[in-house]
Amino acid sequence: MLVMDIRDIDLRKYLQQNHNKLNWKQKINITFEIIRALYVIHKENSIHKNLHSGNILYSQLNNQWYISDLGFSGPANKPSSCIYGNLPYIAPEVIKEIDYTFKSDIYSIGILMWEISSGHPPFINYGHNYNLAINIINGIRPKVTLKIPVEYKNLMEQCWDANPLKRPDLFTLMKKIREMNSYYQGITDDSVKTEMYDDLKLNKASNSINSKLFTSKIYQFENLPEPRNATEDEIKVFYSKLHEYNNKDNNKNNKSISKIFKAKNKKLTKMLKKLQKKNDVNNDDKNKSNPQTKGSDFDDDDDEVYHSERQDGSDSLDDI
């Protein structure tokens, strides 16, 4: 069924606002609610084709999660050779062959499970372009670095397997997440501690998410290889290179800031020398017109006022 009535908030915004307050009991329950909503859709023999956290909606009134935008695989004028969606959530076989199946929805669930566990949109520091598409095809997935329940992690990784046949069907997925949810709902809140990120390093840009980056778009990719799973070594190399790139980027920013300060200091020094030179010339004129005797007291209050007036009339220090 197509959800058209107004809900309070989508999953992405909900996680932005509440992730630090969520424990695993709550995270797993959210995952269960979303999978249950997809289960209803698949029971009607329908494929969603565009699952992402922007169209998972929460109703505070009913305390329930809903899936919206069912049936929209793109604008009516979308070329048949193109795909439509939110790239980080699109299954690799869809990126390559535009092959939508029930299992491509399961892949999107796997990415959503990671987002619920981490509180961040997937591939937040990447442009949604050919390079990201190639990485997804080659088995790169969002980095799992925080402490999560083993059974949750295993289920998530099964869902985003490059081979659709190795992903669980929705009946199996529903059964496993229901068992997991029942177990965690039986645990008292006091014994379920909130899990926080330990190792995942995100750019400062992630603090303010660009909404344009996480909207569905039309994509067309050509000459892509066959989808596969990446090896552990390939994943380590990929993220170590990303870490090095981010460090280099930070160093460039630091050097740029340093250059700015050097330039400003040079300008400040030059301006002070200019003011001092004007002051010396003025003092010489004063001495010629009103000579002072050696040893007499010299009141330089007027000179200080003069400096202030000349500074107001010249370049301001605030302009530097």
CATH of domain 9-230: 1.10.510.10
Q: In whole angstroms, give the CA distance from residue 55 to residue 221.
A: 24
Residues 6 or more apart from 109 whose CB is under 8 A from it?
Answer: 34, 35, 38, 51, 159, 173
Output the pLDDT for position 69.
Answer: 86
Output the pLDDT for position 284.
Answer: 59
Output the pLDDT for position 47.
Answer: 94
pLDDT tens figures, 124-145: 988 999 999 999 999 999 999 7
- pLDDT higher than threshold 90 for residue 101: yes
Q: What is the mean pLDDT of residues 168-187?
A: 95
Instruction: Tell which wins on pLDDT, 277 or 104.
Output: 104
Instruction: Tell which wins on pLDDT, 212 or 53.
Output: 53
Q: In whole angstroms, give the CA distance from residue 183 to residue 177.
A: 10
How many Cβ atoms sit within 10 Å of the Cβ of residue 312?
A: 8
Output the pLDDT for position 260.
Answer: 44
Distances (CA, A) of 288 to 184, 274, 297, 299: 92, 22, 17, 17
Is there a contact between 56 and 142 (Cβ–Cβ < 8 Å)? no
Helix (H, G, I), strand (E, B) or coil at 155: helix
State if pTM tops 0.75: no
pLDDT tens figures, 214-272: 688 899 999 999 999 999 999 999 998 876 766 665 555 445 534 544 454 556 556 65
Q: In whole angstroms, give the CA distance from residue 279 to residue 33.
A: 77
Distances (CA, A) of 8 to 63, 64, 164: 10, 11, 34
Domain coordinates in residue numbering, the chain: 9-230, 231-277+313-317
Antiparallel, parallel or unpaired: β 217-219 and 56-59: unpaired
Output the pLDDT for position 250.
Answer: 52
Which of the residue ranges 2-6, 152-156, 279-283, 294-298 would you say has the lowest mean pLDDT?
A: 294-298
Q: What is the mean pLDDT of residues 19-31?
A: 95
Average pLDDT, the chain: 78
Q: What is the phi-psi region of residue 202: left when phi exceeds 0, alpha when psi lies from -120 to 50, beta otherwise?
A: beta
